[in-house]
Amino acid sequence: MSVSLDEAVELTRTGDLWVFRGRSVPDRAIQFTTNSPVNHVGMAVVLDDMPPLMWHAELGRSLPDLWAGTHQRGVQLHDLRDAVCVWANRYGQRAWLRQLDPPADAGMEDAVLRTIARLDGTPFPSTAQLAWRWLRGRVPAVRLPAPGLRGGGGGGTPVRDRALETAYCAEVVAVTYEAMGLLPAGRRPNWYDPGRFWSGDDLGLTGGAQLGAEIEVRVPAR
């Protein structure tokens, strides 16, 4: 099934996921280092009369962060339509929409806003940090210091025990979903990668919530 970008923007609601897959060397690197079929995930934020927004993390700063009002790298809040067009046309990505069922309620939307206020502007990790954190999320017994950090073997601090000093896209969505009550508390954010939000993986949402199958989005060339 596929829909136009206009149709997808009209359909999307807070909590819906947008996943992306590209073929560039950086895209393949992210897919390889996270063992994922996709390389990017973002979450829709649709509140009152505001245009639909995209909550995600990326290396680029081509669009203004609508929360901070500046251009910055890392965790950002963008106009959703503009963000999808950038990822499709500038970065050469295919895009899919996954809808949350049932839709987010008012309490969940409040949790989203609190998470945005807390995480917006958090830097994006380096490739080495990305690969390390993906490994740490799956092998919690490993306690070596992360790349670029001081300290000897045996002294590492679990990610869940400290604030996110950097964050990549899947961590941002996971932390937000946890705040919304859609994911169980206590799991390390770095356990998640973009592929966890693809239908081929069992994300294990709580409270009877489900994500629909991927709907391919046809994005017009600009």
The per-residue pLDDT for 8 is: 98
The per-residue pLDDT for 163 is: 52
**Cα–Cα nearest to 170, from 201, 214, 139:** 201
* Whole-angstrom distance, CA of residue 70 vs CA of residue 111: 23
- The mean pLDDT value for 150-164 works out to 37
Model pLDDT for residues 171-214, shown as the tens digit of each residue: 999 999 999 999 998 888 888 888 899 987 788 899 999 999 99
12, 16, 129, 160 from 157: Cα distances, Å: 38, 32, 14, 8
Confidence of residue 222 (pLDDT cuts 50, 70, 90): confident
Checking if the pLDDT of 154 tops 50, the result is no
- The mean pLDDT value for 134-143 works out to 47
Confidence of residue 24 (pLDDT cuts 50, 70, 90): low
* Higher per-residue confidence, 151 vs 65: 65
The per-residue pLDDT for 60 is: 87
The per-residue pLDDT for 136 is: 53
* Whole-angstrom distance, CA of residue 40 vs CA of residue 99: 16
Confidence of residue 157 (pLDDT cuts 50, 70, 90): very low
Average confidence score pLDDT of the chain? 82
Helix (H) or strand (E) holding 118: helix 106-119
Neighbours of 59 (CB within 10 A): 14
> What total number of domains does the chain contain?
1
CATH of the domain at 44: 3.90.1720.10
Range of the domain at 73: 2-218
